[in-house]
Amino acid sequence: MKRAVSRAVTGVLIAVAAVYAADWAFFELRLARGTAMGSVVVERYLKMPLKGNKEAFDYLGTAEENCARTLLPQYAASAWNPPCWWLAGHRTRWQSVTLPLRYRWSAASAFAAGHPGEWPGAARRSDAENAIPGDISVIRRVSGT
């Protein structure tokens, strides 16, 4: 039984390697002719983390993305290119933004900094910036008169 399974696995691996090698050979031939690459218009979105484990989403517009006219993904022009048939069915691209650890907000870091409810390291607004237009008491405090 082990021998049969071993032969089956070996046969499948050889078949997969042969299919990829043939796909790569045809891709290289088409690349030499200039017909190996295509492009598909995709929609791009941006996902950003917010305070309280919430996320904000932003639509970035459409963009053309390169693809390979092959059965399997191929490496060309210093990048892995998905097959055009796959990219045509997956036209949405998500880009995630991650904040470095020093800018991630937590209640513990805010209280430790003495500013609950604010981002650590954020610039504090002065009384003059928070003042209501026409508030003379703030103007006197800031100017010292």
What is the mean pLDDT, run by run of 10 residues, along the chain of 145 residues?
A: 92 96 93 91 91 87 92 83 92 82 52 50 48 46 45
Task: Output the CA torsion sign for 78, 83, 86, 92.
Answer: positive
Residues 78 and 56 in one domain: yes
Predicted TM-score of the model (pTM): 0.57
pLDDT value at position 136?
47
Backbone angles phi and psi of 79, in degrees to 5: -155, 150
Give me the pLDDT at residue 91, please: 93
Number of domains in the chain: 2
Q: Which domain holds residue 5?
A: 1-98
Asked if 89 and 103 sit in the same domain, the reply is no
CA-wise closest residue to 59 among 49, 51, 47: 47
pLDDT of res. 101: 55
Kindly state whether residues 41 and 64 are assigned to the same domain: yes
Task: Give the integer Cα–Cα distance in Å for 85 and 31.
Answer: 17
Residues 6+ apart with CB under 8 A from 30: 36, 69
Last residue of a domain, one of 76, 98, 120: 98
- Specify whether 77 is located in the same domain as 109: no
Both 92 and 110 in a single domain?
A: no
